[in-house]
Amino acid sequence: MDTLTIALPKGRLQDQVMDMLTWLGYQFPLGALAGRKLIFNDQSDTLRFILAKPVDVPTYVEYGASDLGVVGLDVLREGKRDLLEPLRLGFGRCRLVLAGPPEVQGRNLRLMPHLRVATKYPNLTLDYFNQQGISAEIIPLSGSVELAPGVGLAEVLVDLVETGITLRDNGLVELDTLLESEAVLVVNRASHKLHLERIQALVNQLSSAVAQRNAGEQADDNT
């Protein structure tokens, strides 16, 4: 049997996927769990894992270097790669929001001249602004976007928030939500045709794990 390759994003999402697979009975070599190896198989050799930078996961999968992958919906939509996305994994939840200083709140952005927006997500930001009929200059940054309004680089920003604490600490307020994100299982289109049954079986397994986990969360909420 061919080994299916799964691209995982280095970092927090990786740990959560590995937890889920461990819960499903897959076993991993010790070095893999410590995150030292960039490529490893599970003990049964049915799955091979590669660890990639999150933003690169869709590329690995679209080109078929990896059959499947796990990636945040925010990264997936920003990259506009042509992939199948059969399952939401229920973790890594966060929101892509438009934010700015309090004085912007309530203002009609369509009427603001020379609006500048700082973001790590230029494609999604442009889509949103086009959809809203707002003209804006997009200033792409690669991190610490919440700095931008304070130093006069931009009037508003589009960034990912989990709790919103970082925004508040920088004196910013949320203006709108562009996207509710969570971890998504993605599949290469050709692999899906070629390994339909195995991929479907894996999707079903993960799907049951997600359901179990969600049920657990609800139980926690009730107590």
Partner 1 sequence: MGTAIKAGRIPHGVADLFFEGAAEITECERRLHEQFLSWGYGRIIPPTFEFYNMLVTGSNEALQDRVFRFVDREGQLLALRPDMTVPTARIAASKLYDQPMPLRFYYIGRVFRYEEPQAGRQREFTQAGIELLGADTVQADAEVLALAIETLRTLGLADFQINLGHVGFMAALLRQSELDDAPRRRLELAIDRRNPLELDQVLAEYGVEGATAQALRTLPSLSGGRPILAAARQLSTGEDAEQALARLEAVYDRLEQWGYARYIILDLGETRNMAYYTGIAFRGYIKGLGFPVCGGGRYDQLLANFGNDLPAVGFAISLERALVLTKPEVSAAPDMLVSAPAALELGDLLGSLRQSGWCIQSDVLELDEAALIEQAASRGISMLLLTAGEGYRIIRDNTTRDLLRAELEKELSVWTR
Residues that bind partner 1 (CB under 8 A): 2, 61-65, 83-86, 88, 187-194, 196, 200
Return the number of the residue (28 or 49) whose C-beta is nearest partner 1: 49
3-class DSSP assignment, residue 97:
strand
Query: How does DSSP assign 20-61, residue by residue?
Result: HHHHTT----HHHHTT--SEEE-TTSSEEEEEE-GGGHHHHH
**Shortest Å distance, C-beta 206 to partner 1:** 13
- DSSP class of residue 134? -
Return the number of the residue (2 or 217) whose C-beta is nearest partner 1: 2
Return the number of the residue (62 or 155) whose C-beta is nearest partner 1: 62
Return the number of the residue (120 or 195) whose C-beta is nearest partner 1: 195
In DSSP terms, 158 is beta-bridged to 98, 119
Q: Is 82 within 8 Å of 6 (Cβ atoms)? A: no
Torsion of CA 207, 52, 119, 181, to 10 degrees: 10
What does the alpha-carbon distance between residue 171 and residue 18 come to, in Å, rounded to a whole number?
Answer: 37
Return the number of the residue (86 or 149) whose C-beta is nearest partner 1: 86
Question: How is residue 217 written in tokens?
Answer: 């969360």
